[in-house]
Structure 1
Amino acid sequence: MTSQVAHTSPLESALYPMAPISSVFIERNEKVRDTEFPALSVGQRGVTPQLEGVAKTQTESDRKLVRAGDLVINSRSDRRGASGMARQDGSVSLVYSVMTPKSEILIAEYAHHLLRSIAFQEEFFRWGVGIVDDLWSTNFTRMSRIRIPLPPLPTQRAIADELDQVEAMIAKLDKLAGRLKELQRANLAALGRKLVAPGERVRIGFLLTKQSRSALPDDGVVTAFRDGQVALRSRRREEGFTMSLSEAGYQGVEPGDFVFHGLDGFSGAVGTSEDRGKVSPVYHVCSATPLTSERFMAWALRAMAANGFLEAYSFSVRQRSVDFRNWATFAGLPITYISVGEQLRITDHLDEVTGSIDEMLTKVAKLRELLVERCSAFIADVMNGRKVVA
């Protein structure tokens, strides 16, 4: 006889009754046009107005109505934490579940924090279906069976008030991170303006020499990450980069080499390699001529990408991309030449400033993560009597 282990939901409460989502929410499934209701985005920061210029994949009529006070969650289970309470009327794509809480038994602000908790995200994922994790979804029908703790309304309000304060701190950290990143962009933009200003013009091919090193059997894959780091892929989590679908044609890379991704350089996938390894044929691996240095050229190309020059100059095979896989095209890029001495000063300055900003961004990210964990832990503690709210 095969024994079965019953699943214990991380949402279970020792103090308060549990209720299925279907009994405390009403699904809203009204279709509208985004010309009638402004488009909303749902992500780690909750429900916010959609930024202008965001590509739309659906027709105007294929959107769901959202009213202020509704709870919205992405049915894609892999998009963990993409949920929250709407603060305004609007519309979202059909991939989202939109729910109106029954106000006589459920406070929207409490539901907002509960749905964004780690415990709910885990349970939401468990109820999903799909082939692989990144094609995993939990529709409203399945989600409606998830049981959530239902404290008395005063307790719900106290929980929401406490976590609203933590969320406000998280919002301040997000704002700080945004300002730090803007400072990084400003430094790059300043260099970008120098490189397109009137003056002596020189082509990239006179500053860089393309290398064709053989890849060794034991070489690991080196990736140009979009934050400018070029390193063995194994040193970082597998996110934030593109990868080749084929192992054929890999080329060797040495520490200090200039490395540029022919398709994704526009997004910052350029830098000097920290490691020995191999890269796919889509990369250009180069050494600097006596007119420059690999470090400066890495900053120069990142600056040209940041100010839009690469996109404007390139032949694009897809929206918001560059296609510099052809060496002749890449080598033909013109820039305004800066003396070697000035290059060194700029490089040292950018290394120092960017290093300091990156260090601050790392600290901000860690503090943000701790606050998010605190929100989830606080809910669990209240639900199981380890913490009392007024």
Structure 2
Amino acid sequence: MRASFAPVWKVAEVNPATPEFKSLADGADVAFMPLEAIWPGANCDYSRTVSWSRKLSYTQFRRGDILVPKITPTFEAGRTIIAEISSAAGLASTEVHVVRANDGVDPRFLQYTFQSQPFLDEGGHSLQGVGNLRRITPRFVQEYRVLDLSCEDQSRLSDYLDQETLEIEAIIGRLDDLAGMLRHREAVVRTRLVCGISDSQEVFRVSAHSPLSGTPEHWDRTKFGYDFTESTERNGDDPPGPLLSISEYRGVELNTRTDGQQASLDVSKYRVVRPGQLAANMMWLNHGGLGVSSLTGYISPDYKAFWISDRFEPRYVHHLFRSSRYIDYFAAIATGVRPNAQRVTKTVLDATPVPLPPLDEQIRIADELDEATARVDAMLVKVADLKALLLERRAALITDVVTGKKEVS
């Protein structure tokens, strides 16, 4: 028998009123769901609250409502959830549509429909707006056609998808744990080698005054400002290469992002980076936001680039400042009001103590770490590939079930 479909507006309300807020006293704590907290499954963050005020302009919803991200690229990632908050009502980012299932409709079936590939593909073609700020409209959600089933059949299919996706997500969780273990092991090895720490010494303990504790006695000491000279080269009218970014996992690399902050139309004041220079995001040093470049290009004018003295092997420098010892040290000396905007000033960075091993030891350490990190990177690629396959399997399964292509007993 041929499957029949019905528009969403027949089975649910889109962006309905939430009358619970009319009687809510000012100052009452309610659940808060910013966009970064909205993830399907175990990654969803329900821990945040906000004090209610009628002056707030967030999106209002009720416990059990479906939250559908409407802005790129969050929409394309299929991050729709059922809001299982602890309070009766909550507030969410204005960048979500709220869908409230009618009586006799299983909201889980709608949630899976909004995570299916046809919904994401059609939504992607109907986005309105410009650049990276395009959104799906309420009308698109209202008129999207869902499989027309009884509540009993919706629940049966949803139960099946709950079980199958839970198993897939459990495997993905184990892969994430494995990736975390690999990165942790890499961090331990890097810190031991670049700081000359023996197996019996504590790797991660660091003083706010000096990151040099435990380094070998025959190593010299210096300060950042003595051996690292800031480059003032800017693009001008002729950029020497492409836009670069600084990854906390990979260091300096080509900027291939399609979301987030992009270069402005006028890049004449952007800072040039040359091969062998140390590039640094001064507001992200405590997350590994620096590295020695192997590329010629340009970075944000808010970043810095440094020439490295010939007393240092650049590859050793790359591993040294990306070690856990220095990431913790940068966190200790950074200042700022917001946790995600802790800046290390140039003056403080210049005073940073730096170990100076003999050059032949630096080269040996860099060789060992290059080999070790290459092995870890290869394993991480395999983990990422397997995770991608599982996510594809999850998406295909959901699509086949909610479109009636797969029969479920």
TM-score category, normalised to shorter length:
0.7 to 0.9
Supply the distance in 2 between the matched residues of 1:241 and 1:334 (Cα, whole angstroms). 33
Counterpart in 1 of 2:201? none
**Match for 1:375 among 385, 391, 394?**
394
Tell which deviates more after alignment, 380-389 or 367-376: 380-389
Contact kept, 8 Å, 1:257 with 1:287, in 2: the verdict is yes
Identity across aligned pairs (percent)?
Answer: 22
**Match for 2:242 among 214, 217, 221?**
221
Contact kept, 8 Å, 1:252 with 1:277, in 2: the verdict is yes
Contact kept, 8 Å, 1:46 with 1:83, in 2: the verdict is no
Determine helix, strand or coil for the equivalent of 1:168: helix
Counterpart in 2 of 1:354? 373
Determine helix, strand or coil for the equivalent of 1:137: coil
Deviation (angstroms), 1:274: 1.9
Deviation (angstroms), 1:204: 0.3
Supply the distance in 1 between the matched residues of 2:83 and 2:190 (Cα, whole angstroms). 36
Counterpart in 2 of 1:17? 4
Determine helix, strand or coil for the equivalent of 2:322: helix
Determine helix, strand or coil for the equivalent of 2:38: strand
CA, structure 1 residues 37+283, in 2 after alignment: closer, same or farther (shift >3 Å)?
closer
Counterpart in 2 of 1:48? 44
Which AA in structure 2 matches 1:111? L
**1:133-160: CA deviations, max 9, x gaps?**
4323345565222221234513454444
Supply the distance in 2 between the matched residues of 1:225 and 1:241 (Cα, whole angstroms). 13
Counterpart in 1 of 2:116? 117
Counterpart in 2 of 1:230? 252
Tell which deviates more after alignment, 357-366 or 343-352: 343-352
Counterpart in 1 of 2:81? 84
Within 5 A, what are the aligned runs for 1:1-390? 15-26=2-13, 27=16, 29=18, 30-31=20-21, 36-40=29-33, 41-43=37-39, 45=41, 48-50=44-46, 60-61=52-53, 62=56, 64-67=60-63, 69-80=64-75, 81-90=78-87, 91-95=90-94, 96-102=96-102, 104-106=104-106, 108-129=107-128, 131-138=129-136, 140=138, 142-152=140-150, 153=153, 154-184=156-186, 193=205, 196-198=211-213, 202-211=222-231, 217=238, 219-226=240-247, 227-233=249-255, 236-238=256-258, 243=263, 246-250=266-270, 252-279=272-299, 281-303=301-323, 307-314=327-334, 316=336, 320-323=340-343, 326=346, 328-335=347-354, 337-338=356-357, 340=359, 343-344=362-363, 346-382=365-401, 386-390=405-409
Question: Aligned Cα RMSD in Å?
Answer: 4.0
CA, structure 1 residues 242+99, in 2 after alignment: closer, same or farther (shift >3 Å)?
closer
Contact kept, 8 Å, 1:72 with 1:83, in 2: the verdict is yes
Deviation (angstroms), 1:42: 0.6
Tell which deviates more after alignment, 141-150 or 182-191: 182-191
Contact kept, 8 Å, 2:287 with 2:327, in 1: the verdict is no
Contact kept, 8 Å, 1:208 with 1:287, in 2: the verdict is yes
Q: How many residues align?
A: 367
CA, structure 1 residues 121+385, in 2 after alignment: closer, same or farther (shift >3 Å)?
closer
Deviation (angstroms), 1:383: 5.8
CA, structure 1 residues 218+335, in 2 after alignment: closer, same or farther (shift >3 Å)?
closer
Deviation (angstroms), 1:278: 3.9
CA, structure 1 residues 17+169, in 2 after alignment: closer, same or farther (shift >3 Å)?
farther
**1:49-100: CA deviations, max 9, x gaps?**
3467xxx9x7544464542x44222233531222123445354424233444
Deviation (angstroms), 1:184: 4.7
Supply the distance in 1 between the matched residues of 2:68 and 2:2 (Cα, whole angstroms). 27
TM-score normalised by structure 2 residue count:
0.71
Contact kept, 8 Å, 1:224 with 1:260, in 2: the verdict is no
**1:285-306: CA deviations, max 9, x gaps?**
3333243222222233223797
**1:231-289: CA deviations, max 9, x gaps?**
344xx344577646742345554323322234444443321222233445444333332
Which AA in structure 2 matches 1:16? A
CA, structure 1 residues 362+386, in 2 after alignment: closer, same or farther (shift >3 Å)?
same
Which AA in structure 2 matches 1:71? I
Counterpart in 2 of 1:9? none
CA, structure 1 residues 232+135, in 2 after alignment: closer, same or farther (shift >3 Å)?
closer
Supply the distance in 1 between the matched residues of 2:30 and 2:187 (Cα, whole angstroms). 33
TM-score normalised by structure 1 residue count:
0.74
Unaligned runs of 5+ residues in structure 2 are: 196-203
Unaligned runs of 5+ residues in structure 1 are: 1-13
CA, structure 1 residues 127+247, in 2 after alignment: closer, same or farther (shift >3 Å)?
closer
Deviation (angstroms), 1:344: 4.5
Which AA in structure 1 matches 2:118? A
CA, structure 1 residues 93+187, in 2 after alignment: closer, same or farther (shift >3 Å)?
farther
Contact kept, 8 Å, 1:266 with 1:311, in 2: the verdict is yes
Determine helix, strand or coil for the equivalent of 2:279: strand
Deviation (angstroms), 1:219: 1.9
